[in-house]
A and B are shown apart, each in its own frame.
Chain A
Amino acid sequence: MSTIVSLPDQSTAKLPAKSYLNQEYGLKSWLLTGDHKRIAMLYLFSITFFFVIGGVLAGLIRLELLTPPADLMATDTYNKVFSMHGIIMIFLFLVPSVPATIGNFLIPLMVGARDLAFPKINLLSWYLYMGGGLLVLATMVLGGVDTGWTFTTPLSTHYLNTHVVTAAMGIFLAGFSSIFTGLNFIVTIHRMRCPGMTWFRLPLFVWGHYATSIIMILGTPVLAITLVLVALERTMNIGVFDPSKGGDPLLFQHLFWFYSHPAVYIMILPGMAVISEVISTFSRKRVFGYTAVAFSSVAIAVFGFLVWEHHMFIMGVSQYSALVFSLLTMLVAVPSAIKIFNWSMTLYKGSITFETPMLYAFGFIGLFTIGGLTGIFLATLGMDVHLTETYFIVAHFHFVMVGGMLMAYLAGVHFWWPKMTGRMYPEAISKTAAVITFIGFIVTFFPQFILGYLGMPRRYAAYPADFQVLNVFSTAGASILGIGYLLPMLYLPWSLKYGEIAGDNPWQATGLEWQIQSPPLTENFSEIPIMDHEAYDYEWLANKTHHEVQTVG
């Protein structure tokens, strides 16, 4: 069984007369919309906004670390900068990044529905997100918060007088935004699939988001109640987490990581979901071992809830419980390994082209492999003792989150840009941006692994001089990385007006979303489709194209 897919001639493509973008005009039509595609666009703008703020803060961190003493800013300023960087990047960028933008846009299209199950709740999610974002911004304007994104008690409850409660409430609201997004996805995937769309015909993108949503609805409420307790303890001077009043600071750690460890899977699973689509499309092949990839997402979501204590191996937890959690952590690494191998194997006997999304996907595979395998270092109990709380953790986390998730996000944005806007991004410059990002990333974060093994602690405004050389590399890399991120922010808006017109299916991909006009109609499908083939069925696509050529031409 083999298929030849030739890309369509884009010079004949025309923008459709009517689409979700020109259905209605005016600010009100956007701010009160129920359309999942418009809400996705609202998210895209707001997330990019917060990413820029978080990115500027990251730049400040790297600048400060260029030299050993705390000379660019005072230590407490530095502490606020890295805390705000963490809070903004995690809760306002990484958690909603792919699900709320690309996922929001695509899940109804992919399952063959006209919208998410609850459009108003979808809009409410965005308002909650913005409310949370504004509170976080207010925290920044009022003078910041210096707890770190982990809000460790009793530091956050009794030993700081910065705006902890404001920041916590911001995260609380953003958390409910993520709960409602997850709820909407789950209901949509369960109840809104078009006729013929069985579970195993769903694109892997949908499977990935289904797994993500499970974590969102089960994990996030625990974070919410934990933050409420922190706020109450702080304002009312109670001691649930304060040992001198009979409380237990480790209880906070347990509750916090019960959410925050699964949360890293909230951040990475949608990225994996994007990669499955991209790899399949650009090698013109069905994803190798569809079922394994689908179930590995769900396995990650389930096992992800059982490993939180690996953040606490040196915190005086029982050594035997540490054993159990180390073992479970080893198990949760396996599904990720399966995915990596299945993606690599998808390339085998494909017909591969190297457009920008594919370059980002290759970047993802490489960087996520490093990020994932260095996670094994940290799951290994004896090694974790030396490596935890050092720059090794910082490097590992950024390899997975920035090297993994951000690469996947950019892959997804480029891949579906023609579908979202109807226009192509400029290919040459975007390929350059992808390569710059990759190089910049490696130069920034690879030295941090070495720094970590040397023992340089994280969250240090000043550090001993023997760590300087590697930090200079890291800062130099960060400036390259900055350029890599700046480029898409310039050429993507440019392409809105000047980009080539994309046509319905510029990549010749098989998903339902590619079989309709770009940009889609407000109601997505003029007639609800009937799914009569497997996901990634390139033969079906070839037949369909052939048929169209014969009947139309």
Chain B
Amino acid sequence: MSHISPVLWEFLVHWLKNFAIFPPEASTIAPYADALYFALVGMTVTGLALVMTMVLVFSIRYRKERHPEAVQIEGSTLLEATWTLIPLGIFLVFFVWGALLYFRVFNPPPNSMNIYVVGKQWMWKVEHQGGQHEINALHIPTGVPIQVTLISQDVFHSFSIPAFRVKREAIPGRYTTVYFEATTPGKYHLFCTQYCGTNHSAMIGWVYVMTPADYSAWEAGNTSGASLAQNGERLFASVGCNACHNGSATARGPNLANVYNTRIRLTDGSTAIANEAYLREAILAPSMHVPAGYAQIMPTYQGQISEDGLIDLVEYIKSLDSNYRIQQMLNKSQISSAQASTEGKTVPAQGAAKP
């Protein structure tokens, strides 16, 4: 190789060292996905080999020079039934196998750690429970089942971590979730895979998988001081939710303590589970989520609270197990709103609530 210039040689070596043909396996799902993948590759190779063998052998044996007389054959029901039913059987096996994996990826175990990810043109905003915020990066510990709750602030995005073999669209207007459990510490690609406009290809980042100890250290070093629920509490008071949702006997809004994951009866007679999606929707489109026994007086907050704010509020409501702090806060905010109104201002949210 002495005739190749050393610079070019270095370049080639460097280039080929970077040459990946198989992604790292870094989650508990990955080995299962890879097993399925290799089974599918096996099926493809077998199928292709079968067809190619037929074509090649027949082409050689029955080429015109060797076989000048074509023998006319109508068909064969038995043969055709064979190659209808065997592929069908194989495909059905893969259907079941794939479905099992799918249900695993999208149904997290109940004890999983929830991380919120908001997609917007063109970045991923990650919000940890403890209030740590990250842009285009995601720090997670190994060995902990993690549920990522996704939402988009504008257009469709898609949250993809190839090393974990998982992917989920971030859709405007609704929460989607994906679950994984990392196994190997390291730094892995994070992509947006749904085309989302000009800088789609710049909407990438890194997933940092750490040992639990490293993760705790990172968590402690990056906290912004307030958890999601604490931010939510502040927002809850500042937009005036506590004016009605305070759990007092005269409250105009339903009691929110311990409401998370309960079954709620609505005015139209239907029932709904108060999960994250329900709570978010109830803030944006309250008239479609009025619990039985309450009047529709709540204003919509569509366009007034960002998706991040909604996440804070949802986390706050999830964390509420008593109304004590709301009532404490209420006393303060009533005082402040009283002060505000004496200065000729009204709290906008409350003003809008009057029908």
Within 8 Å by CB, do A and B touch in the complex?
A: yes
Proximity string of chain B (24-38) to chain A, C-beta cutoff 8 Å, 1 when within and 0 when not: 000000001100110
| Interface positions of A from 364 to 422, Cβ below 8 Å from B | 365-366, 369-370, 373-374, 376-377, 379-386, 388-390
* Closest Cβ–Cβ distance, residue B19 to chain A (whole Å): 4
Which listed residue, A75, A250, A466, touches B200 by the CB 8 Å rule?
Answer: A75
Q: Does B84 lie at the interface of the complex (its beta carbon under 8 Å from any beta carbon of A)?
A: yes
Q: Size range of the interface on B?
A: 35 or more
Contact A330 B94 (CB under 8 A): yes
Q: Does B295 lie at the interface of the complex (its beta carbon under 8 Å from any beta carbon of A)?
A: no
Contact A373 B99 (CB under 8 A): no
* Closest Cβ–Cβ distance, residue A331 to chain B (whole Å): 8
Roughly how many angstroms separate A70 CA and B22 CA in the complex, as a whole number?
24
Contact B103 A319 (CB under 8 A): yes
CB neighbours of B36 from chain A (8 A) = 380, 382-383
Contact B72 A539 (CB under 8 A): yes
Among B21, B97, B121, B198, find the residue whose CB has the most chain A CB atoms closer than 10 A. B198
Which listed residue, B98, B189, B303, touches A326 by the CB 8 Å rule?
Answer: B98
Q: Is the interface of A mostly helix, strand, loop or mixed?
A: helix
Q: Does A426 lie at the interface of the complex (its beta carbon under 8 Å from any beta carbon of B)?
A: no
* Closest Cβ–Cβ distance, residue A298 to chain B (whole Å): 15
Proximity string of chain B (201-212) to chain A, C-beta cutoff 8 Å, 1 when within and 0 when not: 110100000000
CB neighbours of B95 from chain A (8 A) = 326-327, 330, 379-381
Roughly how many angstroms separate A313 CA and B176 CA in the complex, as a whole number?
12
Contact B100 A382 (CB under 8 A): yes
CB neighbours of A292 from chain B (8 A) = 75, 80, 84
Proximity string of chain A (522-551) to chain B, C-beta cutoff 8 Å, 1 when within and 0 when not: 000000000000000011000000000000
Proximity string of chain B (179-199) to chain A, C-beta cutoff 8 Å, 1 when within and 0 when not: 000000000010111111111
CB neighbours of B285 from chain A (8 A) = 246
Contact B43 A376 (CB under 8 A): yes
| Interface positions of B from 81 to 122, Cβ below 8 Å from A | 83-84, 87-88, 91-92, 94-95, 97-107, 121
CB neighbours of B105 from chain A (8 A) = 382, 385
Q: Does A442 lie at the interface of the complex (its beta carbon under 8 Å from any beta carbon of B)?
A: no
Contact A348 B73 (CB under 8 A): yes
Which listed residue, A148, A353, A382, A385, touches B97 by the CB 8 Å rule?
Answer: A382
A-contacting 9-mer, from B158-166, B262-270, B321-329, B336-344: B158-166
CB neighbours of B67 from chain A (8 A) = 349-352
Contact A326 B99 (CB under 8 A): yes
CB neighbours of A365 from chain B (8 A) = 51, 55
| Interface positions of A from 345 to 367, Cβ below 8 Å from B | 345, 347-354, 362, 365-366
Q: Does A337 lie at the interface of the complex (its beta carbon under 8 Å from any beta carbon of B)?
A: yes
CB neighbours of A291 from chain B (8 A) = 75
User: How many residues of A are in contact with the other chain, CB < 8 A?
Assistant: 101
* Closest Cβ–Cβ distance, residue A127 to chain B (whole Å): 33
CB neighbours of A243 from chain B (8 A) = 171-174
A-contacting 9-mer, from B58-66, B138-146, B219-227: B58-66
* Closest Cβ–Cβ distance, residue B338 to chain A (whole Å): 34
Contact A466 B20 (CB under 8 A): yes
* Closest Cβ–Cβ distance, residue A231 to chain B (whole Å): 18
**Which residue from chain B places its CB closest to the CB of A288 in the assembled complex?**
B75
Roughly how many angstroms separate A311 CA and B90 CA in the complex, as a whole number?
22
Which listed residue, A79, A290, A342, A388, touches B198 by the CB 8 Å rule?
Answer: A79
Q: Does A267 lie at the interface of the complex (its beta carbon under 8 Å from any beta carbon of B)?
A: no
A155-B156, A334-B84 are known contacts. Are A249 and B171 too (CB-CB below 8 A)?
Answer: yes
Roughly how many angstroms separate A389 CA and B55 CA in the complex, as a whole number?
33
Contact B58 A155 (CB under 8 A): no
Which listed residue, B15, B62, B97, B193, touches A390 by the CB 8 Å rule?
Answer: B193
Among B174, B176, B192, B193, find the residue whose CB has the most chain A CB atoms closer than 10 A. B193
Roughly how many angstroms separate A187 CA and B190 CA in the complex, as a whole number?
53
**Which residue from chain B places its CB closest to the CB of A312 in the assembled complex?**
B169
Q: Does A27 lie at the interface of the complex (its beta carbon under 8 Å from any beta carbon of B)?
A: no
Contact A465 B18 (CB under 8 A): yes
Roughly how many angstroms separate A455 CA and B163 CA in the complex, as a whole number?
8
Q: Does A333 lie at the interface of the complex (its beta carbon under 8 Å from any beta carbon of B)?
A: yes
Contact A383 B44 (CB under 8 A): no
CB neighbours of B55 from chain A (8 A) = 344, 347, 362, 365-366
CB neighbours of A1 from chain B (8 A) = 71-72
Contact A75 B79 (CB under 8 A): no
Contact A349 B71 (CB under 8 A): yes
Q: Does B70 lie at the interface of the complex (its beta carbon under 8 Å from any beta carbon of A)?
A: yes
Contact B72 A286 (CB under 8 A): yes
Contact B15 A468 (CB under 8 A): yes
Top 4 A-B pairs, shortest CB-CB distance: A455-B162, A382-B101, A243-B173, A380-B98
**Pairs across A and B, CB under 8 Å, 13 listed:** A152-B195, A155-B195, A160-B197, A344-B58, A349-B67, A350-B62, A351-B64, A379-B95, A382-B99, A383-B33, A384-B98, A454-B20, A458-B195
Beyond A154-B172, A288-B76, A469-B16, 15 extra complex contacts between A and B, CB < 8 Å? A4-B69, A249-B156, A250-B171, A283-B70, A286-B72, A289-B76, A289-B80, A338-B80, A348-B54, A352-B59, A382-B33, A390-B162, A453-B22, A453-B23, A468-B15
